[in-house]
C-alpha cells in the first residue's frame, strides 16, 4: 500500500539502502486499487479516490510526492447525500437548496430545521475540543458521549453526522459512536469540513491511482516482488541482529531492517515466533474490520430521487439509527443514562481479499445484508461524479449494502479492510510507536497511525524512511524531515464583533466576576490545610496555612482546573455547582507525587488514578479539607438556652459566598417543588431514578455474596500506637457480620414472621430464611431489584419462605390482613428515602404491622443534630442528583416521629459510621477496577465521575464522623423480647487488646 511504497521510494531514490518490497497480491497499491469494468472498459478507483492540494491542502507529503513522480491531478467533488427509509423519512444532499430539500415534505418538518441549526452549531463549536489541554478529561470522550453531552438532536445525529462518519471510515454506526470525538472532529477540522465556505477543492488522480502505482513499479523494478506473501521470519545473531524472511517456508533473503507496512494483524502473525508479548498484544489491539465492496451500476443502491444523488451517498434505516440511547432522566440523576449503543467488537484480521467464491462465503455473510455489520447505514460512491467519468452508464461502489445489486449490473465484488479508531486502537498504536518503533531493526507504518487516509499512510511511511536514512524528503528540511499535519489547536473559526460580544457577555465576563468571588471566598474559608488551584498556563493559587486540618492528611489538595467555567458553577450553585463542574470534566484532583504522603486510609488503589477521574481518593481529601475548615473548633460559639441550632459559617450553606445564595435558593426551590416522597407515586419515581439504573452496574462493586447496598461491619480494633481504628477482613466477611448483627438486634427466632422494608437485592431476607427458617415478606419500590432478588431466592431454593412485592410501605400497612401480623420488621437504610415530612407515616405504618411484642430494627444514615435544621433548609449533591428527594434524618427527628405517631420507643443504638467509610472506599476501588465492565453496560465518563464523586462524598462524611450510620432498635414499652440486649456482652465494652495482641490481630487480618 501507500505506506510501503512511500517508504520504499525515499530509501530507493534518496539513500544508499538496498530496498526489497514484498507484496502478497498480484499488484502494488493496497487501497490504491484501479479496476477495469463494463463494456466500455472503464478504469475506476474503488479504494483511494480523492485528496486535496494547494497552499492550505491537507495532503502535503502525498501531493509533493506525486509531483516528484509526475502524477497529474484533476478536480473532483465531495458532495454528501443522506437517504433513509428509501427517501421516505429523509433525503437530502449538500448541493444547494434543491438538494437540501430533495424531499419537499422536509420543508414542513420542524425536526429537519433542528437538524440544520444543529449542523451549523456543530460546525461552529466542535473544534473547541481540539483546543482543550492535553490532560483535559473532556478530550478523550467518544463521539456518542460528545453528542449527548452537548445536547445535539437525534435529527442531527441521524440525518447528518453519524451517516457521514460511517461513510468516511467505512464503519458501522455502532463503531462510529465509540470512536474518539477528538479523532473524528480533528479530521473534519483538518479537512475544512467544519465550514460552509472556503472549503478546499478536492482532487483525484488523472488516469486513476494506477498511474502512481505503475510508476513505483518502474522505479523499484525487480526489487518489488508481488505474489510473495511473507509468512514468517527468523531472528539471526551474527555479530549484529538481522532477519531472514520466508514466503511459504521459502527464504527470500536476510535483511538488516524490516518495515511492516501491512496491517497490524498481519504483522502480528508474521512476528509470532520472535516478537515480545507486549508487541504482539499491541498489534492485536489495533483493530481492523472487513467491508464487502461491490462495483456495480444498479441505481437501486442510490437515493430514490436523482436530485439527491451525490458523490458520497449514505443510505439506511432511521429506526436503527434512532434507537440510540439518549439521556431521558433529566436532572433526577445527571449522567445516569449514557451512550448511544453497545460496541460491536471486531476480531477479523484480514487485509484486502479478492472474492474467489465459496472460500469467502462465511466471512461476508456477517458483513452484508440487512443484518450485516452496517445494518443501520451503508455507503454508495457515485464514481462518475467523483472520478469525472464520461460514460453512458453510471458506475457505483457500495460498501456492505443492505441488498445485493442486480447480478447483470455487478462488475466486481471483493473485500477491503479498514482500521477502527476506537480507544483501544488509539492507545495501542501510541504505545507501539513510542516504545517499540525501530527497536532491533523492526519498524511499523500505516494509515492507522493517523486518520486512516492516504496522506496518513504516506506520512507514516516517510517517517520511517527518514529515520532510517537520516535524510529529509526533497520537499522538506533537516528541521522537519517529513511535513507535519496542520496544528489543529491553532485553527479557530471565523469571528466577528457580534460573536465576540456574545462570548464576552455569556462567558468571559461571568468567569471574570465569579473567579474573583471564589478566590475571595476561599481565602476566608480555607484557613487550615492547603488547597491549590492549578491552571492550564501552569499558574497556581494556594489557600490555607498548610497546618493539620481535621482528619485528613497534611499533603496539599490540588485541583487541576481545565475550564474556567468551574468558577461560575461553583459561585452560582455552591455545593451542587462544585459537583456538576466535576461531572462535566471542568476539573479533577491531581494525585500526590509521592504515594507515602497519603494516609493509609485515603491511599488510592493501584491504577485507580486516570485522566477521566483524576485521583478519586483526592476527592475524599478535598471534602475532608472542606469539613475540617467548616468544623474548626474556634468557630463554635456558646449558645444561650433555647437558641435554635442554625448551623452557619463561611463553609456552610453558601453563607460565606454571597453570590451563591441566589443559585442555592433556586436549587432549593426547585427541590421543594419537584421532589415528592408521597404515596401517590413520588417515592416510586425517586427510587427508580437510582436503584433501577442497572442490576449489572451494582454487581460491579457490591460484595459478591450478599449484594448488600449498605454499611458493612468490619473486624476493627483500636491501635495502641495510633489510637485509631484498624479494620480487617474482606467486604464479604464484613457484610455477613452486619447481617448477623441486625438479626441479632431483632432477636430473631426460628419460625418468626419477618418484614423486610426496602429489601434491596434480598441479602438479609435470604439470610434470615436460610439461617432461622423465618417466613419473610419483603417490600420495595424498585422493579429491577425485585427481579434479581427473586432470582436469588429461586437459586437458594427458598421460594416457600420468601415473598417479595413492589409496594409502598403505607399501602402495605393499610391492608387489613397485614395488621399486627409481623413479629419483626427490619429496615436497612431505607428510611433515607422516606423524607422528613413523612417520617411520622413510616412509624405509624410500622406500628400497624408489628404484633404487640414486635421489634423494629433500623439501619439509618443520620445527620448530626447540630446541622440538621440547616440541612433541611438546603439542597446538596446527594438529595438532588444521587438519591432524589432523600433526607438523612437526625436521631432526634426519628425519635420525635416515633413519639408523635406511634407507641414505639428507642431501646438500643449503635454507631457504625466509621465502618461505612471503609465500605464506601472498598466500593469505590471495586467500581473503578471494573471500569471496562461499566462502560460495556453503556455508562460513560460523566457517569464514572458522578459515581466516584458520590462514593467519595459520602466516605468523607463518615470518615470525619460528621455523618452517622446508626443501628437502632425500637419496641413498645415493656417488650420482654429485647431483654437479651441487656446482657453484659451488649453493655460492657470488651477489654482493650494489648500491644502484642493487636500485633497478632494485624498479622492475621491485614494481608
Residue position matching grid coordinates 412509624: 843
How far apart CA 944 and CA 952 sit, in angstroms, is 12
Nearest by Cα to 191 from 80, 70, 93, 66: 80
Spatial separation of the C-alpha atoms in residues 751 and 773, rounded to whole Å:
6
Q: How are beta strands 224-225 and 21-22 bridged, if at all?
A: parallel
- The residue count of the chain comes to 1007
DSSP bridge partners of 776: 754, 802
Round to whole Å and give the CA distance between 260 and 4.
8
The secondary structure element, H or E, covering residue 968 is strand 964-972
What would the 3-class secondary structure string for 255-267 be? ECCEEECCCHHHH
CB-facing half-sphere around the CA of 606: CA atoms within 13 A: 0
What Rg, from alpha-carbon coordinates, does the chain have?
34
Q: Are 193 and 200 in contact (CB under 8 A)?
A: no
Cell numbers 454571597 label which residue?
658
Place of cell 524512511: 465
Give the residue numbers marked as catalytic. 954
For residue 209, what is the DSSP state?
A: T
| Cα 666 to the center of its chain, rounded Å | 30
Query: d(Cα 520, Cα 49) in Å, to the nearest integer?
Result: 59
Specify whether the CB–CB gap between 693 and 336 falls below 8 A: yes
φ, ψ for residue 935, nearest 5 deg: -65, -40
Give CA separation, 462 vs 27, 61, 473, in Å.
21, 9, 8
How far is the C-alpha of 518 from the C-alpha of 714, rounded, in Å? Answer: 40
**Residues 224/28, Cβ–Cβ less than 8 Å:** yes
Q: Are 588 and 560 in contact (CB under 8 A)?
A: yes
Return the beta strands (E) in 387-450 as ranges.
396-399, 410-419, 442-444
Rounded Cα distance between 609 and 931, Å, is 12
Please tell me what DSSP assigns to residue 610. Answer: B
Task: Write the DSSP symbol of residue 440.
Answer: G
Of 225, 216, 233, 226, the residue nearest 442 (C-alpha): 233
Task: With residue 435 as reference, give the H or E element that holds it.
Answer: helix 423-436
C-alpha–C-alpha distance, residues 488 and 188, integer Å: 10
The Cα diameter of the chain in Å comes to 105
Q: Roughly how many angstroms between the first and final C-alpha of the chain, as a whole number? A: 55
Q: Which residues contact 663 (CB under 8 A, 6 or more apart)?
A: 571, 572, 573, 574, 577
Closest by alpha carbon to 133, among 509, 474, 560? 560
Report how far residue 152's alpha carbon sits from residue 115's, in angstroms, rounded to the nearest whole number: 9
- Is residue 526 within 8 Å of 543, Cβ to Cβ? yes
Lookup: cell for 735:
457484610
- Compute the distance between CA of residue 100 and CA of residue 115 in angstroms, rounded to an integer: 12
SS3 category, 823: strand
Pairing label, strands 540-543, 410-419: unpaired
Amino acid at each position: 500500500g501507500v505506506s510501503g511504497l512511500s517508504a520504499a521510494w525515499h530509501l530507493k531514490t534518496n539513500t544508499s539502502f538496498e530496498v526489497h518490497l514484498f507484496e502478497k497480491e498480484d499488484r502494488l497499491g493496497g487501497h490504491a486499487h484501479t479496476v477495469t469494468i463494463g463494456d466500455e472498459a472503464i478504469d475506476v478507483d474503488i479504494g483511494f479516490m480523492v485528496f486535496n492540494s494547494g497552499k492550505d491542502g491537507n495532503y502535503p507529503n502525498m501531493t509533493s510526492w506525486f509531483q516528484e513522480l509526475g502524477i497529474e491531478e484533476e478536480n473532483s467533488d465531495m458532495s454528501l447525500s443522506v437517504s433513509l427509509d428509501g427517501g421516505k423519512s429523509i433525503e437530502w444532499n449538500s448541493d444547494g437548496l434543491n438538494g437540501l430539500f430533495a424531499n419537499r415534505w422536509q420543508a414542513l418538518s420542524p425536526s429537519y430545521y433542528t437538524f440544520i441549526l444543529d449542523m451549523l452549531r456543530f460546525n461552529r463549536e466542535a473544534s473547541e475540543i481540539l483546543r482543550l489541554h492535553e490532560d483535559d478529561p473532556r478530550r478523550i470522550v467518544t463521539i456518542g458521549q460528545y453528542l449527548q453531552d452537548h445536547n445535539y438532536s437525534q435529527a442531527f445525529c441521524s440525518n447528518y453526522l453519524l451517516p457521514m462518519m460511517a461513510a468516511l471510515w467505512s464503519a458501522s454506526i455502532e463503531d462510529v459512536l465509540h470512536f474518539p470525538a477528538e479523532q473524528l472532529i480533528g479530521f473534519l477540522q483538518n479537512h475544512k469540513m467544519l465550514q460552509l465556505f472556503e472549503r478546499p477543492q478536492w482532487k483525484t488522480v488523472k488516469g486513476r491511482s494506477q498511474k502512481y502505482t505503475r510508476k513505483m513499479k518502474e522505479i523499484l523494478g525487480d526489487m518489488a516482488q508481488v505474489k510473495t506473501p511473507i509468512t514468517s521470519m527468523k531472528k539471526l545473531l551474527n555479530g549484529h541482529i538481522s532477519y531472514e524472511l520466508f514466503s511459504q517456508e521459502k527464504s527470500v533473503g536476510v535483511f538488516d531492517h524490516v518495515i511492516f507496512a501491512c496491517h497490524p494483524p498481519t504483522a502480528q502473525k508474521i512476528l509470532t515466533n520472535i516478537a515480545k508479548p507486549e508487541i504482539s498484544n499491541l498489534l492485536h489491539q489495533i483493530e481492523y474490520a472487513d467491508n464487502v465492496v461491490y462495483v456495480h451500476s444498479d441505481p437501486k443502491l442510490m437515493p430514490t430521487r436523482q436530485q439527491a444523488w451525490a458523490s458520497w451517498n449514505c443510505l439506511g434505516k432511521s429506526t436503527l439509527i434512532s434507537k440510540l440511547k439518549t439521556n431521558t432522566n433529566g436532572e433526577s440523576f445527571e449522567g445516569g443514562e449514557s451512550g448511544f449503543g453497545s460496541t460491536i467488537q471486531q476480531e477479523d484480521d484480514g487485509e484486502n481479499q479478492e472474492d474467489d467464491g465459496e472460500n469467502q462465503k462465511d466471512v461476508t455473510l456477517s458483513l452484508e445484508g440487512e443484518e450485516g455489520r452496517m445494518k443501520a447505514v451503508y455507503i454508495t460512491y457515485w464514481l462518475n461524479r467523483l472520478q469525472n467519468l464520461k460514460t453512458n452508464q453510471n458506475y457505483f461502489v457500495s460498501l456492505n449494502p443492505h441488498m445485493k445489486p442486480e447480478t447483470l449490473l455487478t462488475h466486481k465484488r471483493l473485500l477491503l479492510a479498514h482500521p477502527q479508531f476506537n480507544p483501544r486502537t488509539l492507545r495501542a498504536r501510541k504505545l507501539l510507536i513510542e516504545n517499540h518503533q525501530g527497536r532491533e531493526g523492526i519498524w511499523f507504518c500505516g494509515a492507522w497511525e493517523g486518520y486512516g487516509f492516504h496522506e496518513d499512510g504516506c506520512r507514516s511511511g516517510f517517517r520511517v524512511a527518514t529515520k532510517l536514512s537520516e535524510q529529509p524528503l526533497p520537499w522538506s528540511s533537516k528541521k522537519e524531515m517529513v511535513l507535519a499535519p496542520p496544528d489543529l489547536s491553532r485553527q479557530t473559526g471565523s469571528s466577528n464583533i457580534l460573536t465576540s460580544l456574545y462570548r464576552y457577555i455569556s462567558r468571559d465576563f461571568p468567569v471574570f466576576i465569579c473567579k474573583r468571588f471564589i478566590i475571595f471566598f476561599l481565602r476566608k474559608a480555607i484557613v487550615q490545610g492547603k488547597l491549590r488551584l492549578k491552571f492550564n498556563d501552569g499558574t497556581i493559587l494556594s489557600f490555607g496555612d498548610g497546618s493539620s486540618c481535621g482528619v485528613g492528611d497534611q499533603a496539599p489538595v490540588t485541583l487541576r482546573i481545565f475550564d474556567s467555567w468551574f468558577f461560575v458553577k461553583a459561585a452560582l450553585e455552591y455545593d451542587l455547582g462544585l459537583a456538576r463542574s466535576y461531572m462535566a470534566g471542568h476539573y479533577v484532583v491531581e494525585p500526590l507525587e509521592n504515594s507515602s504522603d497519603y494516609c493509609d486510609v485515603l491511599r488510592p488503589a493501584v491504577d485507580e488514578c486516570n485522566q477521566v477521574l483524576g485521583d478519586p481518593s483526592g476527592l475524599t481529601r478535598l471534602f475532608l479539607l472542606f469539613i475540617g475548615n467548616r468544623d474548626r473548633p474556634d468557630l463554635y460559639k456558646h449558645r444561650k438556652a433555647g437558641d435554635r441550632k442554625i448551623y452557619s459559617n463561611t463553609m456552610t450553606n453558601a453563607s460565606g459566598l454571597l453570590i451563591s445564595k441566589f443559585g442555592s435558593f433556586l436549587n432549593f426551590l426547585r427541590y421543594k417543588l419537584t421532589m415528592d416522597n408521597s404515596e401517590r407515586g413520588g417515592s416510586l419515581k425517586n427510587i427508580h431514578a437510582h436503584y433501577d439504573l442497572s442490576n449489572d452496574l451494582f454487581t460491579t462493586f457490591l460484595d459478591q455474596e450478599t449484594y448488600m447496598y449498605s454499611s458493612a461491619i468490619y473486624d476493627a480494633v483500636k491501635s495502641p500506637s495510633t489510637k485509631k481504628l484498624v479494620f480487617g477482613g474482606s467486604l464479604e466477611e464484613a457484610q455477613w457480620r452486619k447481617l448477623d448483627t441486625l438479626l441479632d438486634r431483632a432477636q430473631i427466632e426460628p419460625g418468626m414472621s419477618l418484614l423486610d422494608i426496602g429489601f434491596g437485592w434480598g441479602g438479609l431476607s435470604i439470610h434470615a430464611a436460610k439461617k432461622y427458617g423465618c417466613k419473610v415478606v419483603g417490600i420495595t419500590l424498585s422493579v429491577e431489584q425485585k427481579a434479581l432478588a427473586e432470582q436469588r431466592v429461586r437459586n437458594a431454593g427458598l421460594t416457600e419462605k420468601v415473598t417479595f412485592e413492589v409496594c409502598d410501605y403505607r399501602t402495605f400497612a393499610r391492608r387489613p390482613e397485614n395488621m399486627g401480623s409481623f413479629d419483626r420488621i427490619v429496615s436497612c437504610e431505607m428510611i433515607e428515602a422516606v423524607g422528613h415530612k413523612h417520617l411520622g407515616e413510616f412509624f405509624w405504618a410500622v406500628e400497624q404491622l408489628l404484633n404487640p411484642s414486635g421489634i423494629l430494627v433500623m439501619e439509618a444514615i443520620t445527620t448530626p443534630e447540630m446541622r440538621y435544621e440547616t440541612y433541611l433548609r438546603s439542597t446538596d449533591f446527594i438529595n438532588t442528583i444521587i438519591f432524589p428527594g432523600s433526607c438523612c434524618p437526625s436521631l432526634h427527628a426519628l425519635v420525635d416521629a416515633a413519639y408523635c405517631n406511634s407507641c414505639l420507643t428507642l431501646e438500643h443504638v449503635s454507631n457504625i459510621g466509621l465502618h461505612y467509610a471503609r465500605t464506601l472506599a472498598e466500593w469505590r476501588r471495586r467500581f473503578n477496577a471494573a471500569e471496562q465492565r461499566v462502560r460495556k453496560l453503556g455508562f460513560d465518563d460523566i457517569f464514572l465521575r458522578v459515581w466516584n464523586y458520590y462514593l467519595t462524598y459520602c466516605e468523607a462524611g463518615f470518615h470525619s464522623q460528621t455523618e452517622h450510620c446508626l443501628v437502632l432498635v425500637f419496641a413498645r414499652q415493656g417488650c420482654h423480647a429485647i431483654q437479651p440486649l441487656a446482657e453484659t456482652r451488649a453493655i460492657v465494652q470488651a477489654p482493650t487488646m494489648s500491644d502484642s495482641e493487636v500485633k497478632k490481630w494485624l498479622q492475621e487480618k491485614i494481608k
